[in-house]
């Protein structure tokens, strides 16, 4: 579904992404992990066409995305910080986007209802708390029933009830055959939803493996323990070899 080949992105002389090759398929929930500055957002933005890589290609459903725009309608993107027209109400923003996306055949309003957005839809974007803004971003990412979700720190700022609701929705969409890419530094939030882990470090791909395999290799159940085991100096060496084992 998404095929990334030898992707390299350089900012001046600094390599933010260094020869990254990855292949993601339907029904996977990929957690993109790595320390601050390791290239996660640059990778996401490259897939979204917001960053133009210097080398390499990205294909979505077999088509190279370079200089293309239409493919983006297949992606529901939840940015780390959602930016909206601040003087518009939530209701107006949703209505405006529905008008722009008239082509959409099926609106998915499950999160709008789950988060009880109708009760606050008269509020202007500028007046929203961080968590409510995050809920609006989540609602918009799911609203147009896309095939691919790119969720950048989706649970940041959400209360536990909202966070669980969003995680349940992610699990449901994966079961529906959607592809979901998530970044988060809160590994406990990823425990129940992740099928595969991509770990980046200094722009390089350190590993891409299924969670099941990593559980076996490390003997750990929780993602934070798995990652800690892998990153320890005496990590099992076989964990650090990149394999396309999706």
Q: Which residues bind ligand ATP (CB under 6 A)?
A: 11, 16, 34, 36-42
Q: Cβ closer to ligand ATP: 39 or 82?
A: 39
Residue 206 per-residue DSSP state: E
Using DSSP's 3-state secondary structure scheme, residue 91 falls into helix
- What is the nearest approach in angstroms of ligand ATP to the Cβ of residue 74? 22
CA distance linking residue 236 with residue 238, whole number of Å: 6
Whether the Cβ atoms of residue 208 and residue 240 lie closer than 8 Å to each other: no
- What is the nearest approach in angstroms of ligand ATP to the Cβ of residue 3? 20
- What is the nearest approach in angstroms of ligand ATP to the Cβ of residue 147? 23
Q: Cβ closer to ligand ATP: 90 or 141?
A: 141
Look up residue 65 and give its two tokens.
């995305």
Angle between helices 211-218 and 223-231 (to 10 degrees): 60
Q: Cβ closer to ligand ATP: 11 or 66?
A: 11
Closest CA to 90 of 124, 46, 56, 139: 124
What percent of the chain is helix, strand and coil (3-state, nearest 5)? Answer: 35, 25, 35
Give bridge partners of residue 76 from the DSSP assignment: 149
- What is the nearest approach in angstroms of ligand ATP to the Cβ of residue 224? 16
Q: Cβ closer to ligand ATP: 88 or 231?
A: 231
- What is the nearest approach in angstroms of ligand ATP to the Cβ of residue 91? 31
Q: Cβ closer to ligand ATP: 156 or 240?
A: 156
Name the CA dihedral angle for 107, 110, 111, 112, rounded to a multiple of 10 degrees: 70
């Amino acid at each position: 579904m998404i095929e990334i080949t030898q992707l390299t992105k350089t900012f001046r002389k600094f390599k933010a992404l260094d020869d990254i090759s990855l292949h993601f398929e339907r029904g996977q929930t990929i957690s993109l992990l790595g320390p601050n500055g390791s290239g996660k957002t640059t990778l996401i933005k490259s897939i979204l066409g917001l960053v133009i890589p210097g080398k390499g290609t990205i294909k979505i459903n077999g088509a190279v995305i370079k200089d293309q725009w239409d493919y983006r309608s297949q992606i529901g993107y939840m940015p780390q910080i959602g930016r909206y027209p601040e003087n518009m109400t939530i209701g107006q923003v949703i209505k405006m986007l529905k008008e722009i996306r008239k082509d959409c055949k099926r609106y998915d309003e499950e999160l709008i209802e789950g988060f009880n957005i109708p009760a606050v839809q008269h509020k202007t974007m500028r007046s929203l708390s961080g968590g409510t803004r995050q809920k609006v971003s989540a609602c918009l990412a799911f609203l147009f029933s896309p095939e691919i979700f790119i969720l950048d720190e989706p649970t940041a700022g959400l209360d536990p009830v909202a966070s669980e609701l969003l995680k349940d929705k992610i699990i449901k969409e994966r079961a529906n055959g959607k592809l979901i890419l998530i970044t988060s530094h809160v590994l406990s939030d990823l425990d129940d939803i992740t099928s595969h882990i991509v770990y980046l470090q200094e722009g390089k791909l350190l590993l891409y493996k299924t969670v099941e395999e990593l559980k076996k290799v490390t003997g750990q159940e929780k993602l934070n323990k798995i990652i800690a085991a892998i990153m320890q100096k005496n990590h099992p060496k076989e964990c650090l070899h990149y394999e396309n084992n999706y």
